[in-house]
């Protein structure tokens, strides 16, 4: 009778634990409220998911067996029922069992884990290479084979809504804080190698659907790779605390079919040609101010604020700033080369000559500065900087050597 009771209670406990496990791990997959690891859209992600599930179910089985035995013992073999504990001090068989069994379990888990690790660290044989550089608080992407590069930042709608006192309801913005102005476009079915680094502080490039995360460390290049299985838009974040706007540098990857990707490459080549032409033509004051306002909103307002008042003491105000209203060569030097020991970045490799000229013109004439200076893109890209005044029409020249110091 006692053995029958033990079996019944043990079976009941086993059923309860199994149902609870199923409700916690499996049922959410069918309700759309997943709490499990994402399956991803790459071969690596699926390998990691399968490994995760294998180890998870091994742990679940161990847990069910242990807790079933434990609760059965608690219910049926407690002292109040008159049970006496077994009296022994040594069991060679038990010691062998609890040594050999865990070792076999660990080996079972280690073999697929090692294979997954080796696969993850094997970027050779890639069809294309993309260099990713983290900045505060943006990403720069360079397609090494196609000579395409651009900077990806938080989209303008989210950036406007997140500002204090903006009056914009964040819920009215689609994909609030998750969209960017320029997504990383990649072809499906191709092995893509990533070279990941940073320019200022440590960042981390993470897209959950790809099945891995890589730190972006200044002066060091990490490698990774992905082969995306199906088209779609996949989102991620910087996963390393990198400053005040760490939460505002999302990642968006747009995976497309190869023909669509080639069309995008052609469009980028056309845009590059247009940027080259923009650096050689003359811009009028209104064009520069309009373009400069856009550049300032995406590249400068995060630190110096939309109204130019800054966030003292780390991010100085531009309104009435001695550098912005002072000698042009120093202003250009700061924008192109940054300022060591501060949060001011070097924008020489981040913006086109047209964008730099527009931003300089805008900041020197906005926020009440009104210097009247007009800087041309050709001056930034050329051997010297010639600045005309909207008030006098006079022109001053600054050589490249002056800018570089």
The residue-averaged pLDDT of 147-165 equals: 87
Q: What is the mean pLDDT of the chain?
A: 83
pLDDT confidence tier of residue 13, bands split at 50, 70 and 90? low
pLDDT value at 381 more than 80: no
The pLDDT tens digits for 193-240 are: 999 999 889 999 999 999 899 999 999 999 999 999 999 999 999 999
pLDDT digits (tens, 9 = 90+) for 296-326: 888 888 788 888 888 877 788 888 888 888 8
| Distance, CA of 103 to CA of 112 (rounded, Å) | 15
Identify the CATH class of 279-404: mainly alpha
What average pLDDT does the segment 348-354 reach?
A: 85
At residue 394, the pLDDT reads: 41
Packing angle, helices 353-365 and 328-337, rounded to 10: 130
Question: 384-389 and 138-143 as β-strands: parallel, antiparallel, unpaired?
Answer: unpaired
Quote the pLDDT of residue 24: 62
In this predicted structure, the answer to whether residue 403 has a pLDDT above a threshold of 90 is: no
Q: What pLDDT shows up at residue 369?
A: 87
Sign of CA dihedral 278, 284, 287, 291: positive
pLDDT for 391 = 46
Helix (H, G, I), strand (E, B) or coil at 193: strand
Indicate the burial class of 139 (C-beta count within 10 angstroms; 0-12, 13-18, 19 or more): buried
Residue-range domain boundaries for the chain? 2-77+91-120, 128-267, 279-404
Q: Which of 288, 310, 281 is nearest to 365 (CA)?
A: 288
CB 183 within 8 A of CB 253: yes
The per-residue pLDDT for 382 is: 52
In this prediction, residue 210 carries a pLDDT of 93
> Mean pLDDT: which of 110-119, 301-310, 389-398 is highest?
110-119
Domain 128-267, architecture per CATH: Sandwich (2.60)
pLDDT given for residue 393 in this prediction: 44
DSSP state of 165: T
Q: Do domains 128-267 and 279-404 have the same CATH topology?
A: no
Quote the pTM value.
0.74
Local confidence band at 61 (pLDDT 50, 70, 90 cut-offs): confident
* The total number of residues written for the chain in this structure: 405
The pLDDT score that the predictor gives to residue 11 is: 66
Q: Cβ contacts of residue 210 below 8 Å, gap of 6+?
A: 40, 41, 42, 44, 45, 226, 228, 234, 236, 253
């Amino acid at each position: 009778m006692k053995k029958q009771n033990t079996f019944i209670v043990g079976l009941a406990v086993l059923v309860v634990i199994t149902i609870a496990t199923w409700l916690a791990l499996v049922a959410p997959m069918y309700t759309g409220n997943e709490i499990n690891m994402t399956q991803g859209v790459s071969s690596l992600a699926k390998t990691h998911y399968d490994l995760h599930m294998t180890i998870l179910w091994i742990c679940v089985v161990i847990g069910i067996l242990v807790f079933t035995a434990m609760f059965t013992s608690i219910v049926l073999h407690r002292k109040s029922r008159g049970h006496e504990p077994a009296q022994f001090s040594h069991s060679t068989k038990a010691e062998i069992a609890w040594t050999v069994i865990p070792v076999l379990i660990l080996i079972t888990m280690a073999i697929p884990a090692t294979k997954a690790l080796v696969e993850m660290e094997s970027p050779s044989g890639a069809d294309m290479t993309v260099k990713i550089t983290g900045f505060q608080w943006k990403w720069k992407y360079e397609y090494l084979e196609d000579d395409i590069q651009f900077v990806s930042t938080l989209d303008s709608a989210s950036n406007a809504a997140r500002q204090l006192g903006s009056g914009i309801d964040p819920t009215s913005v689609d994909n609030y804080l998750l969209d960017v102005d320029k997504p990383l476009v990649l072809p499906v079915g191709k092995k893509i190698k990533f070279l990941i680094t940073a320019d200022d502080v440590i960042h981390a490039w993470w897209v959950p659907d790809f099945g891995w995360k890589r730190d972006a460390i200044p002066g060091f290049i990490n490698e990774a790779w992905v082969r995306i299985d199906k088209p779609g838009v996949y989102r991620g974040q910087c996963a390393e605390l990198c400053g005040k706007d760490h939460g505002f540098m999302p990642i968006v990857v747009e995976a497309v079919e190869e023909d669509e990707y080639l069309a995008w490459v052609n469009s980028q080549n056309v845009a590059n040609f247009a940027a080259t032409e923009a650096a050689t033509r003359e811009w009028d004051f209104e064009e520069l101010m309009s373009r400069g306002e856009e550049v300032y909103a995406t590249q400068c307002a995060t630190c110096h604020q939309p109204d130019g008042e800054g966030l003292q003491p780390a991010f100085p105000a531009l309104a009435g700033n001695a550098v912005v209203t002072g000698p042009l060569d120093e202003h250009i030097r700061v924008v192109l080369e940054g300022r060591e020991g501060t949060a001011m970045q070097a924008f020489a490799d981040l913006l086109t000559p047209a964008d730099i000229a527009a931003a300089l013109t805008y900041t020197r004439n906005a926020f009440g500065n009104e210097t009247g200076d007009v800087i041309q893109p050709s001056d930034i890209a050329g051997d010297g900087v010639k600045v005309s005044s909207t008030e006098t029409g006079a022109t001053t020249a600054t050589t490249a050597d002056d800018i570089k110091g």
